[in-house]
Amino acid sequence: MCRAIVTLRGEEEATTEEVRSAAFQFVRKVSGYSKPSKANEEVFDQTVAEIAAATQRLLDGLVTPPGARPPAMARSRIVAREKAKERASAAAS
């Protein structure tokens, strides 16, 4: 499994950006492109959008059985959110 793809299911809902980032990493891994050429950019971007939509449908449809705890949020997701906040506040400064 690609290490950059994190578990999105957890106590807090995944953000749209987290879902898109996971889809992007998946498409990068499968295609072998870190950045597609101009000739492949459209199909690459379309596939990322489709994977992100399918991922969101999956997350929206999953249920936690009664009495079971939802999984804890992945540490990598917590770190990524903290870094995003730091970048946003640095950009605002």
Q: What is the pLDDT of residues 10-62, one digit of tens each?
A: 778 889 999 999 999 999 999 999 899 999 999 999 999 999 999 999 999 98
Instruction: Give me the sign of the Cα torsion angle 80, 10, 22, 4.
Output: positive
How many separate domains does the chain show? 1
> Is 26 domain-assigned?
yes
Which of 11, 30, 23 is closest to 68 using CA atoms? 11
> Is 2 domain-assigned?
no
> Is 84 domain-assigned?
yes
> Is 80 domain-assigned?
yes
> Is 6 domain-assigned?
no
> Is 68 domain-assigned?
yes
| Domain span including residue 49 | 16-92
Strand, coil or helix: what is 16? helix
Which is more confident, 21 or 93? 21
Which is more confident, 83 or 34? 34
Q: What is the pLDDT of residue 85?
A: 78
pTM of the predicted structure, to 2 decimals: 0.74
> Is 56 domain-assigned?
yes
Using a 10 angstrom Cβ sphere, with 0-12 exposed, 13-18 middle and 19 or more buried, the burial of residue 18 is buried
Q: Are the CB atoms for 25 and 48 separated by under 8 Å?
A: no
